[in-house]
Chains A and B, each alone.
Chain A
């Protein structure tokens, strides 16, 4: 292969590091998009044998948002293999113990259960907050769009200046 052909190939199949901000996002909805980038399905020359997947760095996994009462009701099952080793962990309990695990499990289960899954999962890096190590941060060159719009949190002066129709007295009690 000529030098030009070689660098062109390298360029076309280069692995891109994407950032995804999981703040206030639904992890199961986000997992679908993250999986797409991890597998390389966003590339026109995707092939399962081609190892063309990109790396996705997820931040703020501590601040994900589950639907409705899922925090209280979603259960994660684990069995140690030994008798009496079954355990059912609620989502909020799991999240307290490990702030990245819910998102990790969501991505894992959104993939097909084939031999490629473990290799594809290795391309996923999750951080609970928005602190990323420097050497990983330098690799990132793209960002995946969030799926749910994050509403703006108003500052204190914005709260005070928010348009009011009427101002109730402090000790008002409705009859």
Chain B
């Protein structure tokens, strides 16, 4: 389990100066390539400068490239970005292709500090329908009600009580009786009518 994230700064990905909404501008301002003319560890970078650097410069005219010789020092790439941040890459024993790849990485970076991203997205408007409030789904009837409510405010679809079952049976029976409009009178009906009421 690593702990490097514990003291690494954390944040969210942001585009510098709304880059991309209007036009996209490459955030790399200038690159300084420092190398030694003799030492072996600068061989790769020397090869890169001789073969691929001019093409890189022509393709990316927005990047100023400085080339500096330093004796007895390891070769490095120093990048400066539009937001003022700087990046340093030590190119000790890099091959030509490695230098090329690292240089293109610097080109694609925005100069934002290397940090742990808490979320891989950012938005100014996280909610379209509006953020939930305790009143979003509140029944408007409750706004004018007096508490405690005098309507049924218990569990939905409760099981009917014995009393309710009996009342329901009685009501059904009454309906059946009313429906039979026939004048056939029998003992049962007499008994019911005298006791039911």
**Contact residues in A for B155 (Cβ distance below 8 Å):** 145-149
Residue A141 is within 8 A (CB to CB) of chain B in the complex: yes
A43 touches B132 (CB 8 A): yes
Residue A45 is within 8 A (CB to CB) of chain B in the complex: yes
A151 touches B163 (CB 8 A): yes
Interface of B is mostly: loop
Q: Enumerate chain A interface residues (CB-CB to B < 8 A).
A: 8, 11-12, 14, 16, 19, 21, 43-45, 54, 59, 130, 137, 140-143, 145-152, 154, 161-167
What distance in Å separates the Cβ of B82 from its nearest Cβ neighbour in chain A? 29
* Residue from the list B131, B169, B196 in contact with A164, Cβ < 8 A: B196
A12 touches B131 (CB 8 A): yes
6 contacts between A and B (CB under 8 A): A12-B132, A16-B134, A145-B155, A148-B154, A163-B196, A164-B196
A11 touches B154 (CB 8 A): no
Interface of A is mostly: loop
B148 touches A44 (CB 8 A): no
**Contact residues in A for B197 (Cβ distance below 8 Å):** 161
Residue B158 is within 8 A (CB to CB) of chain A in the complex: yes
What distance in Å separates the Cβ of B2 from its nearest Cβ neighbour in chain A? 27
List B residues 123-153 near A (Cβ within 8 Å): 131-135, 138, 142-143, 147-149, 153
Given A19-B147, A130-B148, A149-B154, are A43 and B195 also a contact pair (CB < 8 Å)?
Answer: no
**Contact residues in B for A150 (Cβ distance below 8 Å):** 154
* Residue from the list B143, B148, B154 in contact with A19, Cβ < 8 A: B148
Beta-carbon nearest neighbor of A42 in chain B = B134
State the CA gap A145–B148 with chains docked (Å). Answer: 11
Beta-carbon nearest neighbor of B159 in chain A = A149
State the CA gap A21–B158 with chains docked (Å). Answer: 17
Number of B interface residues in the complex (CB < 8 A): 24
3 closest Cβ contacts across the A-B interface?
Answer: A163-B170, A149-B158, A146-B154
What distance in Å separates the Cβ of B51 from its nearest Cβ neighbour in chain A? 56
**Contact residues in B for A54 (Cβ distance below 8 Å):** 134
**Contact residues in B for A163 (Cβ distance below 8 Å):** 166-167, 169-170, 196
B149 touches A143 (CB 8 A): yes
State the CA gap A15–B150 with chains docked (Å). Answer: 24
State the CA gap A140–B135 with chains docked (Å). Answer: 14
Residue B161 is within 8 A (CB to CB) of chain A in the complex: yes
Beta-carbon nearest neighbor of B151 in chain A = A143
State the CA gap A157–B56 with chains docked (Å). Answer: 100
A164 touches B195 (CB 8 A): yes
**Contact residues in B for A151 (Cβ distance below 8 Å):** 161, 163
* Residue from the list A8, A142, A152 in contact with B131, Cβ < 8 A: A8
State the CA gap A19–B135 with chains docked (Å). Answer: 16
Beta-carbon nearest neighbor of A163 in chain B = B170
Beta-carbon nearest neighbor of B197 in chain A = A161
What distance in Å separates the Cβ of A170 from its nearest Cβ neighbour in chain B? 16
B163 touches A143 (CB 8 A): no
**Contact residues in A for B142 (Cβ distance below 8 Å):** 141-143
State the CA gap A142–B141 with chains docked (Å). Answer: 10
* Residue from the list A11, A21, A130, A148 in contact with B135, Cβ < 8 A: A11
